[in-house]
Structure 1
């Protein structure tokens, strides 16, 4: 899409509204961050890219999910947002919701094809984040979706090691069982 063909949600070209392309992009990304689904829909209907990458590599889907906006995430996915895009540190939307423990968003991402074991830049997977932050229900959901408890991060730790380090002995046992069941 060119700057000349860019349409704002009000249906006017960017130049006629006085907004630069960077300002329009920022407004679009903020609508995702704030969960303003109606405004987000208008931006998308006007041709905004659902996979636009912002500072630090954040996408509208990463911003919407990290901030807990289920309806915005649902809209973005319906309009073509890729669930596995990674930010500059390698985090995906699923990693963010695993860290936060947002089960409905995790289910939505998984239902829309999110890959369960994408590691970030230091090798941590969504399962590892769920374990590190005591999100036991999330860890179990990710295991059911096929997450591997045996993958190791950049420090050589796997999900079982992380659970034990955090004092989650029951979760560590469940992770071991899941690992042996998948072997």
Structure 2
């Protein structure tokens, strides 16, 4: 169980699970894993704040989200579906927000509860700038999104939807005829 949408009155349920990144240790780089903490007594204000953070990511409100991240909100916060702030920003086409989340330590290789990867979602939606940021990393530095993670993964999505530009970006050759095409390559 995780964060849920507000009920009809606009209040968020308080028997929630919020996933956060553990504090960094000498053996573990910061923000590379997600830990789930359950607190049946989570204050309504905390639930409201988490809902607001997910909305900021969805809306691409980079400035406001950055203030929360700078104040200590974990960049790998996940909702009840396992979607991270980064996944929501990327899936809604917000390249600037995606970049900031990566700069702040968000992990581009977290899968949600349905086994979907962040970069595959961006490929599916056709968001060129977001795909580029996820694949290339920030200023060419890791972390970079793994194109082979998830079901379907980013390569499968690019192939399935005929996004040759992404296959080229990934350095992957086309995978041959698609199941919906006949031998001549037409539908």
Bin the TM-score by the shorter chain.
0.5 to 0.7
2:140 is aligned with 1:115: no
Partners of 2:182 and 2:136 in 1: CA distance: 28
Preserved CA contact (<8 Å) 2:117 2:153: no
Aligned residue in 1 for 2:112: 87
- 1:63-96 deviations in whole A, cap 9, x for unaligned? 0000000110011000000010110111111111
Q: How many residues align?
A: 137
Q: Mapping of 1:1-183 within 5 angstroms?
A: 20-112=45-137, 113-120=144-151, 124-142=152-170, 144=171, 159-160=175-176, 163-167=177-181
Q: Structure 2: which 5+ runs fail to align?
A: 1-42, 138-143
User: Is the CA contact (8 Å cut-off) linking 2:119 and 2:134 kept in structure 1?
Assistant: yes
Unaligned runs of 5+ in 1: 1-17, 150-158, 172-183
Higher RCO structure (Cα 8 Å, ≥6 apart): 2
Give, in angstroms, the shift of residue 134 of structure 1: 2.1
Question: Aligned partners of 2:62, 2:48: CA distance in 1, in Å?
Answer: 19
Q: Decide whether the 8 Å contact of 1:101 with 1:138 is kept in 2.
A: no
Contact 1:130 1:139 in 2 (8 A): yes
CA distance in 1, matches of 2:165, 2:136: 17
Q: CA RMSD in A?
A: 2.3
Deviations 1:27-51 (A, max 9, x none): 0111001000111111111111110
In the TM superposition, what is the alpha-carbon distance from 1:139 to its structure 2 partner?
Answer: 2.3
Q: Flag the structure with higher helix content.
A: 1
The runs of 4+ residues in structure 1 deviating greater than 2 Å are 166-171
Q: What secondary structure, in the 3-state scheme, does the structure 2 residue paired with 1:108 have?
A: helix
Task: Give the TM-score of the pair, scaled to structure 2.
Answer: 0.66
TM-score by length of 1: 0.68
Per the TM alignment, residue 168 of structure 1 is displaced from its structure 2 partner at its CA by: 8.5
